[in-house]
Structure 1
Amino acid sequence: MLIDQIRADLTAAMKARDTLRQRTLRSAIAAVQEAQVAGDAATTLDDDGVQAVLKSQVKRRIDAAEAFEAGGATDRAADERAEIGVLEAYLPAALTSDELEAIVSDVFATHGFASKADMGTAMKAVNTEVAGRADGRAVADLVKSRLA
């Protein structure tokens, strides 16, 4: 499982005295554990659930890096971006814009979406194909531009 790999990598980072990886992986493990106990009953997350938590952690770090850059703390922004790199190693490779456009084109050709009324159905169909390998905002913008 993915969480087991993260824990093993944390141990390796501790042995190598890699403080960046240690800090990042500890944070990721804590976020996964928090997600497992959130809600009415404790659950064990599968790899998809762990990846969803890691994606949210990446998004938080992106937002933090942008805020630090806006505030002039470029060194803190660089730390956040370095942590993003560590976390992204555990996520599936992101689609390029050309690959995303090809997927959207295929879905539109298959289902024949044409009007803005099809937005929800089109988004659901595209997101099924994309499977979390692209930013939701980029997908929504592309689908919306095709339906306009």
Structure 2
Amino acid sequence: MAINFNELMSLDVAESMSFEPLPEGQYKVTVDSCELGESKSGKPMYTVDFVVNEGDHAARQIRYWLVLVTKKGLHWDLPKFCEASGNTWPEEPAGRTEDYFNQVALDLVGKTATITVAIEESEYNGETRARNNIKKVEWDKPKAKKKSKASKIEL
């Protein structure tokens, strides 16, 4: 296939895609990626990229950050967050290993939730911008695996 250089010379550069925040409300989402890393202050944190599943904003992405440690201890949402991935929260602190938290990140991909989104204004380089803030994440219950009944097989 030949490249049409005349077209490249005659077209203007398109404006970049806008990153308008999603309107406030609730959205059904699926986890596209989840990574365990560190916050700016060096605390362990999950960065979760959700994709909107339905409606006018289907396929839009929205990012959620869950810092695992607060001033008062572990984040109150952490056990629910881990269990949403299918990994039981270890009541025994010895079970809260690096492998456990990495497994949660891996297993969360593909899980679904309903998120409540707000719009907040933030200042960046002297410019006020509107951005989304996820106020609440309600994880869908994992679908129970159906127990298959063994059929009677005569040998």
Q: Normalised by the shorter chain, which TM-score bucket?
A: under 0.3
Determine which structure has more spread, i.e. the larger CA radius of gyration.
2
Greater percentage in strand: 2
Q: TM-score, normalised by structure 2?
A: 0.20
Q: TM-score, normalised by structure 1?
A: 0.21
